[in-house]
Amino acid sequence: MAFLARQYKVLAAYCLVVAVVLVFALSVQAAASFIFGAFLSLLAGFFGMKAATYANVRTTQAATTGNKANTLLVALDGGAVMGLAVAGLGLFGMGLIYILFQGTDQFGTVIHSFAVGASSIALFARIGGGIYTKAADVGSDIAGKVIENIPEDDPRNPGVIADNVGDNVGDVAGMGADIYESMVAAVVAAMAIALTGTEATMPNLLAGSDSDNRFVGIMLPLFLTAIGLVVSIIGIMITRMLKNLNPAVVLRSALIFPPIILVIVSAILMPILGLTQNITIALAVGAVGGALIGLVTDYYTSASPIAKIANSAKTGAGTSLIRGLAVGMESVAIPILIVVISAYIADNVLGLYGIALAAVGMLAGTAVVMTVDAYGPISDNAGGISEMSGLGKSVRDITDELDAVGNTTAAIGKGFAIGSATLTVIALFSAFNSEVNHARQLAGAGDLVLVLTDAKVLIGILIGSILPFLVGSTTMLAVGRAAGAIVEEIGRQFREIPGLIELKAEPQPKKIVDIATKAALYEMILPGLIAVLAPPIVGFLLGPAALAGTLAGALAVGATMAAFMANAGGAWDNAKKYIEKGHLGAGHLKGSDTHKAAVIGDMVGDPFKDTSGPGIAILIKVMSVVSLLIASLIALR
Amino acid sequence: MAFLARQYKVLAAYCLVVAVVLVFALSVQAAASFIFGAFLSLLAGFFGMKAATYANVRTTQAATTGNKANTLLVALDGGAVMGLAVAGLGLFGMGLIYILFQGTDQFGTVIHSFAVGASSIALFARIGGGIYTKAADVGSDIAGKVIENIPEDDPRNPGVIADNVGDNVGDVAGMGADIYESMVAAVVAAMAIALTGTEATMPNLLAGSDSDNRFVGIMLPLFLTAIGLVVSIIGIMITRMLKNLNPAVVLRSALIFPPIILVIVSAILMPILGLTQNITIALAVGAVGGALIGLVTDYYTSASPIAKIANSAKTGAGTSLIRGLAVGMESVAIPILIVVISAYIADNVLGLYGIALAAVGMLAGTAVVMTVDAYGPISDNAGGISEMSGLGKSVRDITDELDAVGNTTAAIGKGFAIGSATLTVIALFSAFNSEVNHARQLAGAGDLVLVLTDAKVLIGILIGSILPFLVGSTTMLAVGRAAGAIVEEIGRQFREIPGLIELKAEPQPKKIVDIATKAALYEMILPGLIAVLAPPIVGFLLGPAALAGTLAGALAVGATMAAFMANAGGAWDNAKKYIEKGHLGAGHLKGSDTHKAAVIGDMVGDPFKDTSGPGIAILIKVMSVVSLLIASLIALR
């Protein structure tokens, strides 16, 4: 809470500055909508944090009864509070703006501002939270395991509290803001195409007539998201019924049922509403594509790839790192090809609007995905609490089993997030072009045709291609620097607090939390500003063609780098756990050279999967919504 | 030589297959030109190998006299044989085709086939050589340093010979084929635009009249490259005059003088020939841009960034790897921005043709760049030979000093290579579009406008974005697998050859060479085929718009990934050397934990900088020239 309070202060200052700019550049309504979108994002993170911190303790408590099924439910319920809050707040916010502004000239600007508010807060929350959590994790790991040789989650290590806090601020609050943003961006992309699109980008949605096509196109993504929320609640209820099965089966079915139900509901509803079944097809390719990407991501972070990484750790950290990097690179191909095929089908049935609907379909189960995602850190922290409270091995065994499943589902959730981000950015990209041309028509200028061989577009592609690397570099360095400061402070405490090693004195975890907080808030500024300022700088200096190229270049590099980093990180993490479980034999358990090599992979993977990878995935969305918002201002440059 | 003989057999089979396809798809002349381009590439590599292997021994011999300046010259002369052979063969081949076919309908197809021959051999040579050299390096390092604890280049380690061979096949023969290809691709890109370009892509080159614009445009890149060769010879002579200065100064001036002289010569010649000075401007931005990229690359692989990586090795391999990855990511930005600015200026003065001329300007000093590049492995191997022959510390000191400079100049050379690759691909890209439209006009179809918001183009961008990751993954894995096999064989020899450790028996280096050779030849096939087959598969299945998107996506990801991997690898390598030189103090020398952490970074960096990074840089060029060649066949799909 201390971290959130300070982070929110920094973000409030950011919002104020942007809002003032928006009042002058666009309108008071746009500024208000921006603040509203940002506020709901903060609220989603706050609810999640509250629910997760309560659920941590309750899950530990439930585990002491020895009832695994009930412990699973307690953890899942904690996640569900977050999941339903995120989806509900997103729907509420966009619904309110729809009711207030739909049909007015303001609608486009206002809804885009809402998305920018949601996106930029998500970016800062994700990056700030990611730096905090991984600095605390890497810092206390290095200090605890390597320097002082005490076990993980040992209460003498003053970094452990910060590590637990980090799981909440990064994986819960950061993830909540992230998924809230994904949902908003997908809906807004579809709305934006419907608002300014032509027949080519949005074919007829009404079987027979075409009178109210634009109106239906604007309302439809909101309507489908609402159905998605209802379906998600059903999905969470199904999960409760299955509680006595293997936890892995329970969580996977929670992710897979809602998309299937949604497609069935859509197939029934569309003819009744007089709409084309092409809508169902677009939704279905998104929903199925999302699930497939999740399964592929799961494969690369759990099956034979991690066994190979673990085995290569036998010849040292170098070979294990090479193998992990190769696995991460390979893991990019199939998910992106699935996106390509989904986009191809969706485009064939409903043009670029279809691609946006596919993204909506992929995110229709947002509430469930978020529930399962939040479940991971909750059970992870429950394990930490049980260790620190000395509750014994039987309790820890239950929380460990639940935690292991959480890692897999977190990978699936990340797959969904990156897949939907890619589809959403494609849709936002063409919405940007529509918006530019709309503004040009109003000014009496001809359409801007984005020709790929235009030097400005090519230059833009190259500029865009470096931005994900800059965000990757700044966030990696931030984690490294902050972790270094934490290691030093832990070392100082062990040296200067007499009796700490003999458990006769208390460590000072507050100081570690303080260092991590300050570092995260300071370090999130640079990568955040790169994402927010790059589009206006390119747009106002080089014009809309260069900005479009920048978005395309950032998409190509960002989608692949995000998947590469997230999956390599997940694979190293699980390879380490695979070794700890004894799959390589007793000679390679904790303390062995093999395990030490795997720990190094995990350490590199930590910022990969929880800071830089997710940060890059949001980067490309933030850039797209900011570009959409400023499209009319730079259209004639 | 054994490696080259076997590699050439595999490549001959590849050439035969492609030639047969070309006879049926295009013409006999195209097939012959393809084989000619490939043959000259092999010849360039062969000459380089011969010269380098002689120069290795001679450099060691020169070092025994204690005369550093003369030793430097011997090593440089060895490199110059290679440099002049590469540039001379390239010029000879293209000149011959120009003389035989210029003015005929065949010219475009024939010169493109020549480029495809050069490019695909360069790709295989680079990847095969890169796998060989890094597998031998990593394998004997792991076995020698980690398992058996004997010093580097120890004669008992049977992997050392393979490591030395690797320096020649990867860094000399591979690099020679690579730079030969860069030069050919840049010239062919300019010719291709001149052949089919419109006024927008190629403004008037003749001050006043425009009658022979196309003719001049085709001849000009060849003419400028010839001047570049003459200038390079002058540059090599200047280097000889400076031999008594600090080796670092000598080599840097070798790289910096030729571009400056070329620009001056062009500024004098153009008015005399009645051509516009815009040509000089385009050349100059390329030449200056190349030098600047080289200096930036030098900074990231030598100055404060490597000191920071070295310092972070104090807290272990994890932090040192995180820091190195961050440095690599950051190092992408400025070189790509320099390319952007060069391209922007060149486009302003001479359209897309100007961008191609800038690439020609960047590569005008090819002979010198190659000389300096080949110098690196020559002095490296001279060090190895002196160690293995037991020539003592004073000899080794000289070779070590020369070797250290070689690392920096290799980094500069790589900067040139990646920068020129990016510019060349931009130019080839627009040549591809010209060629497609030319073919469509002949068939009576309308122009293909590559619209960035076209779903096919967007899908292509995503397909293109995964290809560099696939090549990266397959090459990283190949090095890992081959290194593993080598470690096992070295372990077997130490176990099974009695008396090896006590220097009473000889190791069996031939077996190691054999394993590395087989592995490299087998493993180069998959990444090679990805590069060669991706364009026809996308082109014939999805059409020219999707293929154009694929090239753009591969360019965005490939240019940045290649720079990231090359620079991160170079930085880790030099950080290790920085520690070995004692900059962190005596407590961190060889054998310390800090040094061990740095060795792990170097091990990961080895395939990064010498296999995957350069492989990805060639990938994007191969894809572009193959696309150009098949443009007319897929134009109507």
In contact, A193 and A537? CB cutoff 8 Å: no
Which candidate, A105, A99, A121, places its Cα nearest to that of A30? A105
- Write out A3-36 in H/E/C secondary structure: HHHHHHHHHHHHHHHHHHHHHHHCCHHHHHHHHH
In contact, B323 and B572? CB cutoff 8 Å: no
Percent of chain A residues topping a pLDDT of 70: 97
Collapsing DSSP to helix, strand or coil, B284 comes out as: helix
| pLDDT value of position B96 | 94
Count CB pairs under 8 A between chains A and B.
251
Q: How far apart are CA A289 and CA A468, in angstroms?
A: 24
Asked if the Cβ–Cβ distance from B315 to A453 is below 8 Å, we say: no
Which residues, at least 6 apart from A64, have a Cβ–Cβ distance to it below 8 Å? Answer: A386, A391, A395
Collapsing DSSP to helix, strand or coil, B275 comes out as: strand
Asked if the Cβ–Cβ distance from B422 to A352 is below 8 Å, we say: no
pLDDT(A95) > 60: yes
Q: Which residues pair with A275 in a beta bridge?
A: A206
| pLDDT value of position A159 | 79
CA B134, B136, B137, B142 torsion: positive or negative? positive
In contact, A414 and A570? CB cutoff 8 Å: yes
| pLDDT value of position B339 | 94
The list of chain B residues with pLDDT below 70 reads 145-153, 207-211
Count the Cβ atoms, other than its own, within 10 Å of residue B526: 15
In terms of C-beta distances under 8 Å and separation of at least 24 residues, what long-range contacts does B99-103 make, across chains too?
Answer: B101/B29, B102/B218, B102/B219
The two structure tokens encoding residue B444? 């009576």
Say if B146 is an interface residue toward chain A (CB within 8 Å).
yes
Tokens 């099924």: give the residue: A69
Say if B327 is an interface residue toward chain A (CB within 8 Å).
yes
Asked if the Cβ–Cβ distance from A351 to B455 is below 8 Å, we say: yes
Greatest CA separation for chain B:
82
Q: How far apart are CA A30 and CA A156, in angstroms?
A: 51
Tokens 């579009």: give the residue: B433
The two structure tokens encoding residue A419? 């897949």
Which chain A residue is nearest to residue B558, measuring alpha carbons? A557
What's the mean pLDDT in A138-160? 73
| ipTM of the modeled complex | 0.91
Asked if the Cβ–Cβ distance from A559 to B325 is below 8 Å, we say: no
Which chain A residue is nearest to residue B426, measuring alpha carbons? A458
Which residues, at least 6 apart from B422, have a Cβ–Cβ distance to it below 8 Å? Answer: A462, B336, B339, B555, B559
Asked if the Cβ–Cβ distance from B322 to A449 is below 8 Å, we say: no
pLDDT(A610) > 80: yes
Say if B448 is an interface residue toward chain A (CB within 8 Å).
no
For residue A504, the distance in angstroms to the closest alpha carbon of chain B comes to 28
Convert the pLDDT of each residue in A204-262 to its tens digit: 777 655 657 888 889 999 999 999 999 988 888 888 888 788 877 888 788 778 888 88
| pLDDT value of position A152 | 62
From the list A328, A340, A549, the residue facing B459 with the nearest CB is A340
Domain residue limits, chain A: 2-634
Asked if the Cβ–Cβ distance from B557 to A560 is below 8 Å, we say: yes
Asked if the Cβ–Cβ distance from B318 to A599 is below 8 Å, we say: yes
Asked if the Cβ–Cβ distance from A556 to B559 is below 8 Å, we say: no
Which chain A residue is nearest to residue B461, measuring alpha carbons? A556
Which candidate, A203, A188, A417, A194, places its Cα nearest to that of A294? A417
Convert the pLDDT of each residue in A97-118 to its tens digit: 999 998 888 898 999 999 999 9
**Helices and strands, counts by H and E, chain B:** 20, 0
Which chain B residue is nearest to residue A491, measuring alpha carbons? B315
From the list B326, B340, B422, the residue facing A480 with the nearest CB is B326
In contact, A344 and A328? CB cutoff 8 Å: no
Q: How far apart are CA A592 and CA B209, in angstroms?
A: 78
Greatest CA separation for chain A:
82
From the list B449, B469, B480, the residue facing A323 with the nearest CB is B480
Q: Is A391 exposed, middle or buried (0-12, 13-18, 19+ CB in 10 A)?
A: middle
pTM above 0.90, yes or no: yes
Say if B232 is an interface residue toward chain A (CB within 8 Å).
no
Query: Which residues of A fall within a CB distance of 8 Å from B477?
Result: 322-323, 326, 330
Asked if the Cβ–Cβ distance from A452 to B453 is below 8 Å, we say: no
Strands (DSSP E) contained in B194-325 are: none
pLDDT(A169) > 80: no
- In a mutagenesis test of the A interface, which of B193, B340, B422, B612 is the best target, namely the one with the most A β-carbons within 10 Å? B340
Asked if the Cβ–Cβ distance from B556 to A459 is below 8 Å, we say: no
| pLDDT value of position A341 | 94
Burial B44-78 (b: 16+ CB within 10 A, else e): bbbbbbbbbbebbbbbbbbbeeeebeebbbbbbbb
Which candidate, A631, A440, A443, A439, places its Cα nearest to that of A547? A631
Q: Report the amino acid identity of residue B548.
A: A
pLDDT(A431) > 60: yes
Count the Cβ atoms, other than its own, within 10 Å of residue A533: 12
Collapsing DSSP to helix, strand or coil, A275 comes out as: strand
In contact, B86 and B118? CB cutoff 8 Å: no
Q: Provide the chain A residues 459-488 that lie in CB contact (below 8 A) with chain B.
A: 459, 461-466, 469-470, 472-474, 476-477, 479-480, 483-484, 487
| pLDDT value of position A57 | 87
Asked if the Cβ–Cβ distance from A322 to B480 is below 8 Å, we say: yes
Segment (H or E) for B72? helix B68-101
| Chain centroid to CA B143 | 29
Tokens 């890059």: give the residue: A616
Q: How far apart are CA B376 and CA B385, in angstroms?
A: 14
In contact, A570 and A301? CB cutoff 8 Å: yes
| pLDDT value of position B45 | 81
For residue A141, the distance in angstroms to the closest alpha carbon of chain B comes to 11
Which residues, at least 6 apart from B514, have a Cβ–Cβ distance to it below 8 Å? Answer: none
In contact, B301 and B567? CB cutoff 8 Å: yes
Burial B543-566 (b: 16+ CB within 10 A, else e): bbbbbbbbbbbbbbbbbbbbbbbb
Q: How far apart are CA B500 and CA B158, in angstroms?
A: 10
In contact, B132 and B172? CB cutoff 8 Å: no
Collapsing DSSP to helix, strand or coil, B205 comes out as: coil
Query: Which residues of A fall within a CB distance of 8 Å from B355?
Result: 455
For residue A137, the distance in angstroms to the closest alpha carbon of chain B comes to 13
Q: Provide the chain A residues 547-566 that lie in CB contact (below 8 A) with chain B.
A: 548-549, 552-553, 555-557, 559-560, 564
Cα(first)–Cα(last) distance of chain B, in Å? 45
| pLDDT value of position B369 | 81
Burial A514-531 (b: 16+ CB within 10 A, else e): bbbbebbbebbbebbebb
For residue B616, the distance in angstroms to the closest alpha carbon of chain A comes to 13
Asked if the Cβ–Cβ distance from A473 to B326 is below 8 Å, we say: yes
The two structure tokens encoding residue A489? 């402070």
Asked if the Cβ–Cβ distance from A312 to B484 is below 8 Å, we say: yes
pLDDT(A466) > 60: yes
For A238, A256, A408, A411, the CA distances from A405, given in Å and listed in that order, are: 18, 15, 5, 10
From the list B312, B330, B549, the residue facing A470 with the nearest CB is B330
Q: How far apart are CA B425 and CA B547, in angstroms?
A: 14
Say if B541 is an interface residue toward chain A (CB within 8 Å).
no
Q: Report the amino acid identity of residue B426.
A: I
Q: How far apart are CA B102 and CA B105, in angstroms?
A: 8
Asked if the Cβ–Cβ distance from A465 to B355 is below 8 Å, we say: no
Query: Which residues of B fall within a CB distance of 8 Å from A317?
Result: 317, 600
The two structure tokens encoding residue B470? 């696939």
pLDDT(A443) > 80: yes
For A12, A247, A306, A550, B100, the CA distances from A276, given in Å and listed in that order, are: 44, 39, 44, 35, 61
Query: Which residues of B fall within a CB distance of 8 Å from A430?
Result: 453
The two structure tokens encoding residue A332? 């990019």
The two structure tokens encoding residue B91? 């010029």
The two structure tokens encoding residue B557? 């990801």
Say if B526 is an interface residue toward chain A (CB within 8 Å).
no
Say if A342 is an interface residue toward chain B (CB within 8 Å).
no
pLDDT(A401) > 70: yes
Q: Provide the chain A residues 6-45 that lie in CB contact (below 8 A) with chain B.
A: none
The two structure tokens encoding residue A104? 């007015």
Query: Which residues of B fall within a CB distance of 8 Å from A556?
Result: 461-462, 464-465, 552-553, 556-557
Q: How far apart are CA A490 and CA A142, in angstroms?
A: 10
The two structure tokens encoding residue A540? 């106002």
Instruction: Locate all alpha helices (DSSP H) within B363-445, ordered by sequence.
Output: 366-388, 393-442
Query: Which residues of A fall within a CB distance of 8 Å from B453?
Result: 201, 352, 429-430, 433, 450, 548
pLDDT(A500) > 80: no
Segment (H or E) for A249? helix A247-272
Q: Provide the chain A residues 404-433 that lie in CB contact (below 8 A) with chain B.
A: 422, 426, 429-430, 433
Asked if the Cβ–Cβ distance from A476 to B337 is below 8 Å, we say: no
Q: Which residues pair with A206 in a beta bridge?
A: A275
Asked if the Cβ–Cβ distance from B549 to A457 is below 8 Å, we say: no
Q: How far apart are CA B76 and CA B247, in angstroms?
A: 11
Which chain A residue is nearest to residue B354, measuring alpha carbons? A455
Q: Is B582 exposed, middle or buried (0-12, 13-18, 19+ CB in 10 A)?
A: exposed
Collapsing DSSP to helix, strand or coil, B390 comes out as: coil
For residue A71, the distance in angstroms to the closest alpha carbon of chain B comes to 35
| pLDDT value of position A251 | 80
Asked if the Cβ–Cβ distance from A470 to B426 is below 8 Å, we say: no
Which segment of A17-26, A119-128, A153-162, A356-365 scores lowest on mean pLDDT? A153-162
| pLDDT value of position A39 | 93
The two structure tokens encoding residue B140? 């004997």
Q: Is B299 exposed, middle or buried (0-12, 13-18, 19+ CB in 10 A)?
A: middle
Percent of chain A residues topping a pLDDT of 90: 34
